[in-house]
Structure 1
Amino acid sequence: MSTKDISSLIFLALLPPESLGEEIKELKQEFSDKYNSKRALRLPAHITLVPPFRLTENRSDELFMILEDFCGRFSEMEVSLKDFGAFPPRVIFIEVGNPEVLRPFRDQLFTSLENFLPVEQLKTGRSFRPHITLATRDLSRRDFYLAWEEFKDRSFDALFSVEGLTLFKHNGKIWDNITEFKFQNRER
């Protein structure tokens, strides 16, 4: 097998500004401290647009050109975060308060990447509930219900501008933030 055939696991996400990311990290830390759910701390706060998929080295330049061109057609977006949501019995997250802003962008992104994404992901990936995960798979069922009781009526409000799309790559142990594709507002 040549080095060009080696594949990497990558995903695409939107990141809040650093100050808001730190505020969200404190919430993740609260889940870690109270409910022993540490997994979400492995990544910065983000809204996943394209879940992890494999990319071979020989296609990375092509992907980067497509993402650069794609993001160049958009201007920054205002994203609202509003309160908390859950995917019982393991995941608690911050809801995106204006998902209608992100859905068309994500749909167009999936269309642009259809030659890269696995068929299964193209079929199932169209359902989309944008969120920022606070606690995930390592949250026990028992602790999920205790935490959800605490968070379901708790409020959270934030508004921020997203200036680009971020590509993460798994290095075998953790996810590395590889690059950001800036929105350029060309021919929207």
Structure 2
Amino acid sequence: MKNKNSKSLMAIGIAAISIGAISCSETPAPFIGAWEGTNPIDMTAKMPGAKSALETISIDFINNQQSTEGEITLYSDFDIICPVLVKGMVPADSCNVSFSANAIVKGTWNHDVDDHDDLLINYDYSTIEVKIDNSSIKNVPAIELTQSQTDSLSTIFKLEIETTFRNNLTRLSTMEDIKVSKDGKTMSLEVKGPKYDLRFKRLEM
């Protein structure tokens, strides 16, 4: 989500009150369920050429009968502004394009035997899907894009976002210090490479 007409894109809360650590004895584990991210990660520094790059992560944890492991689906929503070269636009180097994208991957989770508050995630990279919202592709400042320009940019962006998403899964393969609020409505966890705290709100069924 590269051709001659584009510059390379880039390799891309709610405060929890009364939060408690996860207990080994809790069945099912309090983090089981669907969670929506509340604090976007600023990915701009990891995406050369980006003017702005934000990623919001949401997670769905599913338990097994023994509450020892289960399936996971991880979603990422991207909001990007980047410079591109678009044929017919002058001056081309002043063209900034904004767009939205989402990515999804499935996998499995299990507890870290050394620390039950940590989860180890094994992602199935063959399940990765990336979608670009073509209607979100806008020029900044507003200059009308043709359908062919939008289609071309969408192809470029999809490849770039998939690369960024795959690279970021490495740091998301270990989720540390998972804490769920006593009312079960908010969750926080930590990822590293670099260290970052993610916060979520529970999605009601």
Fold shared, TM-score > 0.5 on shorter chain: no
What is the TM-score of this pair, normalised by structure 1?
0.25
Larger Rg: 2
Higher relative contact order (CA closer than 8 Å, sequence separation 6+) = 1
> TM-score, with normalisation over the residues of structure 2?
0.24
Structure with bigger helix share is 1
